Amino acid sequence: MRRNIAWFMVLAMGLHAADFRIVTPYAGSISNRLAVENMDDMKDTALMHGLYFQWVNPARYQWNVFLYQSRNINESDIFGSHFIFDYYVTGLPMTGKFVIGAGLDYIRIRTDGDVSAALSNFCMTNAVYAPYFRLGRYLNTGSSAMKNELLVWTGYERDIIRGDIRFDMQPPVPQMPAISVDDVIESDYDYALLGLNIKSTFHHFLELSAKYYRKVSLNGNPHLNTFSGMVNCYLNRHWGLSYRFKYMEVSVSTNTYHIGGIAYIF
């Protein structure tokens, strides 16, 4: 017990004194709901795996990247990535610190299979590139036993959607020939971002965090929401357990995943 406490104290001092890095391979399940015009909604669940890496300088910056993939879900393969870099602005005559950040989200959904009785030879590739930037402010409260961190932020995102869709549609009259559709997907949307992040740390070894942000469309399209949560439990100064949950809405689908992994801190 004393040895574990010593590990936690060393970990806590290390996290506040110098750069540290975290790498975590994840595995779990993802549920996808695909909603395309003129096609029945489709729901499916499959295995998901991913890899997370974060580099933190507590006083100056942090950046992280997350790559994930799932195959054969709703006759589709999904590949996604998330990258963000945050720079901390300190030394201002106010409590807390400010953050200036920029990043890129990317998700590609490739559907190839029988998605409807009325459609055959269906094939669709839908890729969303989403560069964004944000400005926010951290507020910190708590004690040595429990620390709380609140980040309120706002920003701007541009969704660049590219892809193609091909299928043969059976007409209502059997004697009529099938209608072939071959089209290009090309749309750009602008969003204002409103976000809130909350993190609580208990005795330097248990972290609970929740994040929410809303994409408010500037083009008259539906607004989109993203919720996420994470639990990290540090076993010693180098190893920990991590669980992640996320629900995200994109242009033609929603994705929900539950994943867990073993984190290595160095």
**Which is more confident, 12 or 126?**
126
Contact 136, 195 (CB under 8 A): yes
Is the pLDDT assigned to residue 164 strictly greater than 90?
yes
- pLDDT band for 95, please (50, 70, 90 cuts): low
Measured distance CA(54)–CA(88) in Å, rounded: 15
Measured distance CA(159)–CA(44) in Å, rounded: 25
What pLDDT, on the 0 to 100 scale, is given for residue 180? 84
Give buried/exposed letters for 122-141 (b at 16+ CB in 10 A, else e): bebbbbbebebebebbbeee
| Rounded percentage of the chain residues whose pLDDT exceeds 90 | 59
52-85 pLDDT per residue, tens: 999 999 889 999 999 999 998 888 899 999 999 9
Residues 164-176: what's their mean pLDDT? 76
What pLDDT, on the 0 to 100 scale, is given for residue 27? 98
Angle, CA of 261, 153 and 89, to the nearest 5°: 90
190-214 pLDDT per residue, tens: 999 999 999 999 987 899 999 999 9
208-230 pLDDT per residue, tens: 999 999 999 998 888 999 999 99
Tell me which of 7-11, 152-156, 245-249 is least confident: 7-11
Is the pLDDT assigned to residue 2 strictly greater than 70?
no
